[in-house]
Amino acid sequence: MKIIAVNAGSSSLKFQLLNMPEEHEITSGLVERIGYDNAVFTIKIDGKKVKKETPVPNHKVAVELVIEGLLEHKVIASLDEIKGVGHRVVQGGELFKDSVVITDQVVKDIESLNDLAPLHNPANITGIEAFRELLPNVIQVAVFDTTFHQTMREDAYLYAAPYDWYKKYGVRKYGFHGTSHQFVSERAQELLGNKDAKIIVAHLGNGASLCAVDGGKSVDTSMGLTPLEGIPMGTRSGNIDPAVLMLVSEKENKTYEEVLNDLNKSSGYLGVSGISNDSRDIVENMLQGHYRATLAHRIQIKRIADYIGSYYVYMGGLDAICFTAGIGENAPEVRKDVINAIKVLGITLDEEENQKRGERMISTADSKVKAFIIPTNEEVMIAREVLRLNK
């Protein structure tokens, strides 16, 4: 059964076509710069990337481009081969506690949550509508970043703010990267041979979050109402005293929105280092003795260790920590420094294994807490949900 997993952004559309239930990737691709005359469509054919520059005024045209590409390169013989479409949706609020088959009402319900994710949900909806129009007779499923975290208790997801804010406006921690945290934690359970394992997943990329998973359920996570909360990231500040917004807005003569934009797009690695938002650049400059790059790295390592320590206490123990996503899977220096920062928990790094790539244990055999690299695959997780709901 061929299923497309879709991740629609405001100006991009990423997709992966998979054979299910084998979970075999047939092809993948990306449409970038949607809304511009110099948009780029990239599709992987026989392991090689084929690129095409063309005007793509909207998401509907982007979807048409994807379908045409699949047919043109004979990835599929006809549209009839596609039996399902899974859509990543960032914010499901408290309305969606599970993935759901998309209907007109579901689309309206997702739209009602736009205030909670103004940059993401409208783009996700645009992608949904475009695919529904072109593939009207195919099951379409919404898979939410927030669903996996719906198992958190009130003490984990509520802020100590006026309770009316939560009741009136849904102000609470929702968490994100849920499909990644679920995929990686489920794989960790298999590797440990323990469905009741206490696991911390460190999804470290340009966007980064940690998640405490106890017996297969998310019990806490670092991102909050928005992806700005938590550890410092490529361009996001992570946790910060909210009074900073008022202080900087007054001193810099900026609106709150402009300061918030700085915290989202000009902070984190980029803001502290003054060099780059890319972990590879930070590590390279750190190894050359660059002070601010070193500082940016140390701040993030310290905050990651803070969360791991608090989750260890909250869960009453820890069996494994799993590194995933772009930095987690590919940055041995980051993994090394995180593990050294939490060695008090009974974890020792296997230096040789840490230098390798791909799924593997990177802690020594005698470590009380195990450490793994587990490559994430959010697209497979989305396709699994389509398959499950198509039965």
Look at residue 194 in the predicted model and tell me its pLDDT: 97
Question: Of residues 12 and 264, which shows the higher confidence score?
Answer: 264
pLDDT tops 80 at residue 83: yes
What is the C-alpha to C-alpha distance for residues 219 and 237, in angstroms, rounded to an integer?
23
- Quick check: 376 and 324 in contact, CB under 8 A? yes
Of the listed 104, 145, 337, 350, which one is catalytic? 145
Are 351 and 268 contained in the same domain? yes
Are 71 and 133 contained in the same domain? yes
pLDDT tops 90 at residue 114: no
Look at residue 46 in the predicted model and tell me its pLDDT: 87
What pLDDT digit, counting tens, does each position of 215-265 carry? 999 999 999 999 999 999 999 999 999 999 999 999 999 999 999 999 999
Look at residue 342 in the predicted model and tell me its pLDDT: 97
Are 26 and 113 contained in the same domain? yes
- Quick check: 353 and 360 in contact, CB under 8 A? yes
Catalytic (active site) residue 109: no
Q: Looking at the domain assignment, is residue 168 inside a domain? A: no
Are 220 and 277 contained in the same domain? yes
The pLDDT > 90 percentage for the chain reads 82
Look at residue 134 in the predicted model and tell me its pLDDT: 87
pLDDT tops 80 at residue 10: no
Q: Which of 116, 144, 172 is a domain's end point?
A: 144
pLDDT tops 90 at residue 300: yes
Residue-number span of the structural domain to which 312 is assigned: 193-378
- Interior angle at CA 179, CA 218 and CA 63, nearest 5: 155
Are 135 and 200 contained in the same domain? no
- Under the banding of pLDDT at 50, 70 and 90, the label for residue 15 is very high
Q: Looking at the domain assignment, is residue 385 inside a domain? A: no
Q: Which of 111, 144, 177 is a domain's end point?
A: 144
- Quick check: 212 and 220 in contact, CB under 8 A? yes
What pLDDT digit, counting tens, does each position of 321-358 carry? 999 999 999 999 999 999 999 999 999 999 999 999 99
- Under the banding of pLDDT at 50, 70 and 90, the label for residue 19 is very high
Quote the DSSP letter at residue 188.
Answer: H
- Under the banding of pLDDT at 50, 70 and 90, the label for residue 3 is very high
Q: How far is CA 369 from CA 198, 322, 351, in A?
A: 10, 11, 16
Look at residue 118 in the predicted model and tell me its pLDDT: 79
Q: Which of 144, 176, 206 is a domain's end point?
A: 144
CATH number for position 75: 3.30.420.40
For residue 23, the Cα-to-chain-centroid distance in whole angstroms is 20
Look at residue 120 in the predicted model and tell me its pLDDT: 80
Are 346 and 199 contained in the same domain? yes
Look at residue 13 in the predicted model and tell me its pLDDT: 87
The pLDDT > 70 percentage for the chain reads 100
What pLDDT digit, counting tens, does each position of 138-166 carry? 999 999 999 999 999 999 999 999 999 99
Are 116 and 225 contained in the same domain? no
What is the C-alpha to C-alpha distance for residues 262 and 269, in angstroms, rounded to an integer?
13
Q: Looking at the domain assignment, is residue 347 inside a domain? A: yes
Q: Looking at the domain assignment, is residue 389 inside a domain? A: no
pLDDT tops 90 at residue 11: no
Torsion 154-149-59-327 (CA) sign:
positive
Q: Looking at the domain assignment, is residue 137 inside a domain? A: yes
- Under the banding of pLDDT at 50, 70 and 90, the label for residue 168 is very high
Are 210 and 120 contained in the same domain? no
Please name the amino acid found at residue 211.
Answer: C
- Quick check: 165 and 225 in contact, CB under 8 A? no
What is the C-alpha to C-alpha distance for residues 379 and 210, in angstroms, rounded to an integer?
19
Are 205 and 68 contained in the same domain? no
Q: Looking at the domain assignment, is residue 105 inside a domain? A: yes
pLDDT mean across residues, the chain? 94
Number of domains the chain contains: 2
- Beta bridge partners, 42, equal 30, 51
DSSP string computed for 219-240? EEES--SSTTSSS--SS---S-
Are 32 and 96 contained in the same domain? yes
Q: Looking at the domain assignment, is residue 383 inside a domain? A: no
- Quick check: 141 and 118 in contact, CB under 8 A? no
Q: Looking at the domain assignment, is residue 238 inside a domain? A: yes
- Quick check: 65 and 42 in contact, CB under 8 A? no
pLDDT tops 90 at residue 115: no
Q: How far is CA 70 from CA 149, 296, 350, in A?
A: 35, 43, 43
Are 54 and 202 contained in the same domain? no
> Average pLDDT for residues 5-18, to the nearest whole number?
87
Look at residue 47 in the predicted model and tell me its pLDDT: 85
pLDDT tops 80 at residue 119: no
pLDDT tops 80 at residue 391: no
What pLDDT digit, counting tens, does each position of 46-71 carry? 889 999 999 999 888 998 899 999 99
pLDDT tops 90 at residue 289: yes
